[in-house]
Amino acid sequence: MKIYIACDHKGVELKNQIINYLTNNGISIIDIGLENHDADDYPDFAFKVCEKVIEDEENLGILICGNGIGMSIAANKVKGIRAARAVTVDDAFKAKNHNGANVLALSSEVDIATTKEIIDTFIITKSATDERFIRRIDKISSYETGNNNEL
């Protein structure tokens, strides 16, 4: 598993803290490394990370912006990505276990201790195994490929 990470200008400090935290815990993390400046655009970062995540289903992504919403919206435009904004540990668990999320969108406004717990939960949580969750994820994937779902 590889974890790709990127942020806009609002998330630089948090991104660096996350990289240090994860690498110190033996987790392979790859900083996409686009240059940050005050006028950067979060979709650029989201698209780059998501392109890497979809190369291997074991890959995960972490995106950081001011509140995480913009990154999650942009990320979800990439076919095969299920991005979720998480501001609590429960969000991270349900994003992955109930919804098959492969990208975590974080807010730079959440404290580092909580952010670490959110990330740890997201990484260790198993993907959906419950039939109802799998059915729902499959419906999303089917729609994404142009197949209409029954209502």
How do the domains of the chain map onto residue ranges? 3-144
Judge contact between 100 and 133, C-beta under 8 A.
yes
| Alpha-carbon span 125 to 14, nearest angstrom | 22
The reported pLDDT for the residue numbered 25 is: 96
Helix runs in 25-88, H state only:
42-53, 69-75
Of these residues, 7, 9, 37, 65, which one is catalytic? 65
User: Which of 108, 111, 96 lies closest to 1 in space, CA to CA?
Assistant: 96
- Active-site residue flag, 7: no
Lowest mean pLDDT among 49-53, 57-61, 121-125, 127-131: 127-131
| Alpha-carbon span 105 to 54, nearest angstrom | 16
Compute φ and ψ for 7, nearest 5 degrees.
-150, 160
The matching CATH number, chosen from 3.40.1400.10, 3.30.70.600, 3.40.1160.10, 3.40.640.10, for 3-144 is 3.40.1400.10
- Active-site residue flag, 98: yes
Half-sphere exposure of residue 76: CA atoms within 13 angstroms, side-chain side: 17
Summarize pLDDT for 92-105 with one digit per residue, the tens: 999 999 999 999 99
C-alpha of 41 from chain center: 17
Summarize pLDDT for 24-52 with one digit per residue, the tens: 999 999 999 767 677 678 899 999 999 99
